[in-house]
Amino acid sequence: MTMSLSELSRVSAPAPAADETESLSVWPASTRPAAEGDVTVSGVSLMESADRFGTPLYVLDEAEVRARCRAYLHAFPDTDVVYAAKAFLCRAVAQWVHKEGLGLDVCSAGELELAVTTGFPPERIIFHGNAKSPEDLAVALRLRVGRIVIDSTWEIARLAALVPHGTRQKVMVRVVPGVAAGSHAAVRTGTDDQKFGLSIADGSAQHAVARILEQPHLELVGLHCHIGSQIATVKPYLSALRRVVGLLARIRDQHHVTLPELDLGGGHAVAYRPGEAALDIEALGTRIRAELTESCAAADLPVPGLTIEPGRAVTGPAGVALYRVLAVKRSGRRVFVAVDGGMSDNPRPALYGVRYAPRLIGRRSTAEPCTTTLVGRHCEAGDVLAADIPMPGDIRPGDLIAVPVAGAYHLSMASSYNLVGRPPVIAANEGRARLLIRRESLADLNGRDIGM
């Protein structure tokens, strides 16, 4: 019997009380309320973790990550499921997704080298990027990466010139299908008014295909399409799929080449707050495979091998960020709660206006809730982690605040703004916490500064 993602994550832990179910709905599925207002993730106390490792701290539920990998493989049989490393990558995550049978999608030589030196097979890696440097391409070729996704016509000759004599590099072309999807303008990548890919509408994609087919050292194996992020409905994927299959048919007719692969990218939405919509991946898998079969039959094409690239939907809901309250300030009608992290470890609210559901951890408050704004410690007015959220009216310095759905695009986009070191990451698994990434120290930061 095959279990759903939720069932896979909850088999070893008793269910929370009914009144906690909704408030914990966006947390890792192993999350349980504990004594004195504590919360456990995979049996690991968040209070004890904060005391042991300090704050800010990121907790990643290993079983949740692995269960989400298996859920994708179940929803997309006979599909190459590839984890988008840009969401969050460390050596442990690379090992987890590899052991669960996923490939890897990387965007830089740094991500690629980390994965390969961890033992990830390079032939299972796809190399992306809208502006790959010559060094990026050289590393990809040296490590014999499985696929390189061409994102501009400039890359074609540059890459072909670097391919060792007597070998061929498998490539795909990233195409823009003209489909608008995504929760924010900054993450919509399926239309012609952004930096990624080559347009089908203006002929850029077709021109790139023709040029690649002229290169003896490049082997064009398929088309790639990524239309955006935080997409909660299936319909945009079906629209993009039909347009890309149409291009596959035109390539067959014009060049007498039938490309064997099609990559539909990722961008699958997760819920950041209770009640928000997440993409139903079971429905997506069923409808994508049906549409692919139907569209290819209509175009008299063999069904190509399908690839998808989930990132956020694998690690996002598996992570929890922990902060200590440093100050509480009332200014005008607003209550500001300042914590010891902020935009240096989570720039997403400032970039995309994302909203979270923080929670007080470590004590039970009977105070009436008040509307507060959770802010960071940085000298930036936009350093806001969560605006207009309910928190206990007696919130005070020293309190512990947890922010769920923190496993993607937090630390991968982190900085050392104000010379504040990046937080550590721990894995929680079956009651045991282990350090994955240590805290970045002032010595680490100073060690790069050699100007005197």
- How far apart, in Å, are the Cα atoms of 132 and each of 103, 148, 150? 20, 10, 9
Which tokens sit at 274? 């209770």
Q: Can you spell out the DSSP letters for 60-98? A: EEHHHHHHHHHHHHHHSTTEEEEEEGGG---HHHHHHHH
- How far apart, in Å, are the Cα atoms of 107 and each of 72, 78, 84, 118, 274? 22, 25, 9, 17, 32
DSSP 188: B
Which tokens sit at 211? 């040029």
Q: What is the rounded CA–CA span in Å between residue 58 and residue 427?
A: 9
Beta-bridge partner residues of 149: 172
Are 46 and 320 in contact by the 8 Å Cβ rule? The answer is yes
Which candidate in 90, 225, 370, 379 is catalytic?
379
Q: What is the rounded CA–CA span in Å between residue 317 and residue 88?
A: 12
Torsional sign, CA 22, 23, 24, 26: positive
379 part of the active site:
yes
CA end-to-end span of the chain, whole Å? 65
Q: What is the rounded CA–CA span in Å between residue 309 and residue 330?
A: 44
Are 247 and 200 in contact by the 8 Å Cβ rule? The answer is yes
Which tokens sit at 434? 């282990």
**Residues annotated as catalytic (active site), given as ranges:** 379
